[in-house]
């Protein structure tokens, strides 16, 4: 419950440009997703400004009329101040980008009175120039693009040291080109004899950022080596990784499959750190389940690169569960985003099972249609124990398909080998004169490892 003295949430207005080939439904879904991102950051979205255009090259992203409409939400003038002499006024219509304003989507009108929006959130990635111009035209306290919003959410939610390092690398890479000259752009003195112009304060700041990124990458590499060692120790255990769009229900299913207390929250990117737990009740052989960071449309490339070590859980898994929010009207597009990210990290060929989650929110008619469209998929609700049991059975069947049954004779003094055998599925065992006779069902790698101990 919020305190009566709690500061009011910042009011935000969203901006979206609908490009050719983007349907009204897709545009609306993208803005709704941006609204949820803003909610995760603690913003109160009070309005939207949208426009159909041929491209995003204009210096202010929007045409003059739409820029004035946006400024009405924030109390700005809607005009970008003229730059130094000889430069054109920085408006979209002055740019040689051959962009024509077209019809707009329905959006609430700007307020005629009352509190103004202090934050402008753009559903695209802005160039540093566009960012400056929109700030000048709207007089907003803050202008954020989609990439900046996602990075800020990651920054707030990262808890482990690796996740914090990964986010900081992405954040600095994002900030560096957006730094601005301050104090008149004075330059530092030159080197020996003070020859040369030296570095401007901006250049110095950018060099400091590059040096800091190098330090963070070195620290992350050291941590990653430790993570690889831990993963190597788990290598022989069958592993399944849960992947999918953010807020598809991965953590809820992870919690249900493993009986663990994984964080479950109705927020985008609530999970940034990889969690590994054993399938419960435990199977033989033991199967490890890992949760991964959620994907999202227009996920910044720097974040994909930074979280490569986290996403390696998907790359190194023997099986993927692609979790999909079947109740989301645009889940097919979200499925495509997930596949694209998996391909980008090299996990596109890992065997996978499609799990259509939150089926309890889908009508019976739509369920039948989904079964026809995705006959191999599991339609489940992570809240239903019976459905969770079906997912567990499907995981075990998938691993058992790659297992073989063999007979092994283990001498009584080979205690280490006996210990390894009891980590896999023992079908039968009998005690004979030459040792213990086992019939086991296990992956080929596990059987070869046991035989190596008996040589």
When pLDDT is averaged across residues 129-154 and rounded to a whole number, the result is: 90
Q: Could you report the per-residue pLDDT of 402-453, keeping only the tens digit for each?
A: 788 899 999 988 888 888 888 788 889 999 989 999 998 888 878 888 888 8
| Residues 292/241, Cβ–Cβ less than 8 Å | yes
Mean pLDDT, range 194-208, rounded to an integer: 71
- Judged by DSSP in three states, 89 sits in coil
* pLDDT at position 319: 92
- Edge-first strand order for the sheet with 119-122 is 44-52, 11-18, 119-122, 142-145
Tokens 């790359």 belong to 315
DSSP notation for 95-138? SSS----------PPPPSSSPPP-EEEESSPPPHHHHHHHHHHH
pLDDT tens readout for residues 75-103: 999 888 775 544 444 444 444 343 344 44
Average pLDDT over residues 64-77: 92
Residue 86's region, left for phi above 0, alpha for psi from -120 to 50, else beta, is left
Q: Which two tokens stand for residue 14?
A: 């969203």
171-185: per-residue pLDDT in tens? 998 888 888 644 444
Residue 196 reports pLDDT greater than 50? no
Would you say residue 71 has pLDDT above 90? yes
Q: What share of the chain is helix, strand, coil (3-state, %, to 5)?
A: 45, 20, 40
Assign 295 to helix, strand or coil: strand
What are the pLDDT digits (tens) for 50-61?
Answer: 999 999 878 889
In sequence order, the β-bridge partners of residue 17 are 51
In 3D space, the residue among 117, 20, 129 whose CA is nearest the CA of residue 69 turns out to be 117
pLDDT at 237: 74
- Which residue, chain included where needed, has tokens 């009175």? 113
Rank 213-217, 236-240, 341-345, 417-421 by mean pLDDT and report only the highest. 213-217
- pTM reported for the whole predicted model: 0.74
User: Across residues 242-249, what is the average pLDDT?
Assistant: 90
Sheet holding 378-379, edge to edge: 275-278, 288-291, 239-244, 319-325, 352-357, 378-379
Q: What mean pLDDT is predicted for residues 150-162?
A: 83
Prior bond of 113 cis (ω within 30°): no
Check: CB of residue 436 under 8 Å from CB of residue 412: yes
Q: What are the φ and ψ backbone dihedral angles of 236, each rounded to 5 degrees? A: -75, -20
DSSP 8-class letter at 19: P
The percentage of the chain sitting over the pLDDT mark of 90, rounded to a whole number, equals: 40
CB contact at 8 A, 149 and 121 = yes
Closest residue by Cα to residue 163 from 290, 292, 42:
292
Nearest CA to 391 among 252, 237, 225? 252
SS3 call for 214: helix
Residues 6+ away with beta carbon under 8 Å from 448:
none
What pLDDT was estimated at residue 379? 97
Does the structure show a pLDDT above 80 at 164? Answer: yes
Q: Is the predicted pLDDT of residue 267 greater than 70, yes or no?
A: no
What's the pLDDT score for residue 157? 79
- Helices 161-175 and 308-315, interaxial angle, to 10°? 120
Q: Is the dihedral of CA 401, 402, 406, 409 positive or negative?
A: negative
pLDDT at 192 over 80: no
Local confidence band at 265 (pLDDT 50, 70, 90 cut-offs): low
What pLDDT was estimated at residue 224? Answer: 72
Q: What does the pLDDT read at residue 115?
A: 67
Tokens 């009405």 appear where? 72
Beta bridge partners of 48: 14
Counting beta carbons within 10 angstroms of the beta carbon of residue 57, is it exposed (0 to 12), middle (13 to 18) or buried (19 or more)? middle
Predicted confidence band at 229 (pLDDT cuts at 50, 70, 90)? low
Element (H, E) at 28: helix 24-41
pLDDT band at 394 (very low <50, low <70, confident <90, very high): very high
Strands 403-410 and 435-443: antiparallel
Is residue 143 very low, low, confident or very high in pLDDT (cuts 50, 70, 90)? very high
CA distance 149 to 303: 12
Instruction: Give the span between the Cα atoms of 122 and 360, in whole angstroms.
Output: 34
- The answer to whether residue 230 scores a pLDDT higher than 60 is no
Average pLDDT (149-168) is 84
Indicate if the pLDDT at residue 268 is higher than 70.
no
Burial 187-218 (b: 16+ CB within 10 A, else e): eeeeeeeeeeeeebbbbebbeebeeebeebee
C-alpha neighbours within 13 Å on the C-beta side of residue 306: 30
Cα 184 from Cα 234, distance rounded (Å): 57
């Amino acid at each position: 419950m919020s305190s009566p003295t709690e500061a009011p949430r910042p009011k935000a207005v969203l901006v979206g440009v609908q490009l050719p080939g983007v349907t009204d439904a897709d545009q609306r879904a993208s803005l709704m997703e941006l609204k949820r991102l803003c909610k995760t950051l603690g913003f109160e979205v009070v309005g939207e400004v949208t426009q159909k255009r041929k491209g995003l090259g204009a210096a202010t992203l929007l045409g003059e009329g739409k820029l004035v409409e946006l400024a009405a939400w924030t109390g700005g003038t809607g005009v970008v101040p003229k730059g130094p002499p000889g430069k054109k006024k920085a408006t979209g219509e002055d740019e040689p980008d051959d962009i024509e304003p077209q019809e707009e989507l329905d959006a609430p009108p700007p307020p005629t009175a009352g509190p103004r929006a202090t934050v402008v959130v753009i559903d695209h990635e802005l160039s540093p120039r566009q960012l400056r111009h929109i700030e000048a035209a709207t007089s907003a306290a803050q202008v954020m693009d989609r990439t900046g919003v996602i990075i800020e959410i990651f920054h707030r939610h990262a808890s482990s040291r690796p996740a914090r390092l990964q986010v900081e690398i992405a954040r600095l890479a994002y900030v560096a080109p957006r730094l601005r000259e301050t104090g008149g752009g004075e330059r530092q003195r030159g080197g020996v004899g003070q020859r040369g112009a030296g570095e401007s304060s901006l250049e110095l700041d950018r060099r400091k950022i590059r040096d800091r990124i190098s330090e963070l990458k070195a620290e992350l590499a050291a941590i990653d080596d430790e993570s690889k060692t831990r993963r190597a120790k788990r290598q022989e255990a069958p592993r399944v990784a849960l992947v999918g769009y953010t807020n598809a229900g991965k953590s809820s299913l992870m919690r249900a499959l493993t009986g663990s207390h994984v964080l479950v929250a109705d927020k985008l990117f609530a999970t940034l750190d990889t969690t590994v737990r054993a399938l419960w009740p435990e199977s033989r052989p033991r199967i490890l389940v890992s949760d991964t960071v959620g994907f999202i449309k227009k996920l910044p490339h720097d974040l994909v690169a930074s979280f490569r070590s986290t996403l390696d859980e998907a790359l190194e898994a023997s099986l993927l569960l692609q979790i999909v929010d079947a109740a989301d009207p645009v889940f097919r597009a979200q499925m495509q985003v997930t596949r694209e990210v998996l391909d980008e990290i090299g996990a596109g060929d890992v065997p996978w099972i499609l799990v259509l989650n939150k089926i309890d929110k889908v009508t019976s008619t739509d369920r039948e249609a989904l079964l026809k469209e995705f006959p191999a998929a599991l339609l489940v609700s992570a809240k239903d124990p019976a459905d969770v049991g079906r997912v567990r059975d499907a995981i075990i069947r998938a691993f058992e398909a790659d297992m073989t049954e063999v007979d092994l004779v283990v001498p009584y003094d080979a205690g280490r080998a006996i210990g390894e055998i009891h980590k896999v599925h023992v079908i039968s065992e009998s005690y004979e004169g030459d040792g213990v006779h086992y019939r086991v069902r296990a992956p080929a790698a596990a059987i070869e490892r046991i035989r190596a101990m008996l040589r």
